[in-house]
Amino acid sequence: MQITKSTQAGMHVAVMDGRLDTATAPVAEGELMAMLATPGLVLDMTAVRYVSSAGLRLLLKMAKDAKGKGAKFALAGLQPAVREVFEISGFDKIIPAFPTVADAAA
């Protein structure tokens, strides 16, 4: 998993590339949690091929942490396999996801 930092409309953006799974989620956690600050963080997941439950665990932790900090937290560019996992797990109802980073940062 590679993570590149950028900004969009004042929001922090983490561009992610790879897979968010059992082995990579714990490694990505430190870097992503450190980026979670006001006004908010968008994860660009266009290049994330899939997310397993270990990745969902991290995303849930981030969503809860963002709420505690009063920061916005959103996802962008979910691939079909990621969307499917979100729908099955009910995460589509608890973490906002948008087609593009611009939409998510708006």
| Region binding other proteins by CB under 8 A among candidate stretches 5-13, 15-23, 29-37, 39-47 | 15-23
Taking the least distance from each CB to other proteins, the nearer of 6 and 22 is: 22
Note whether 15 binds other proteins by CB under 8 A.
no
- 1-34 burial: b if 16+ Cβ within 10 Å, else e: bebeeeebeebbbbbbeebbbeebbeebeeebee
Longest dimension (CA), the chain: 32
- Of the pair 56, 104, the CB lying nearest other proteins is at 56
List 22, 37, 38, 106, residue binding other proteins (CB under 8 A)? 22
- Which single residue is written with the structure tokens 């969902």? 56
Q: Does 52 participate in binding other proteins (rule CB under 8 A)? A: yes
Q: Should residue 57 be labelled a site residue for other proteins when binding is judged by CB under 8 A? A: yes
Which among 11, 20, 10, 13 is positioned nearest to 2, based on CA atoms? 20
Footprint on this chain of other proteins (rule: CB under 8 A) = 19, 21-24, 49-54, 56-57, 60, 63-64, 67, 79-81, 84-85, 88-90, 93-95
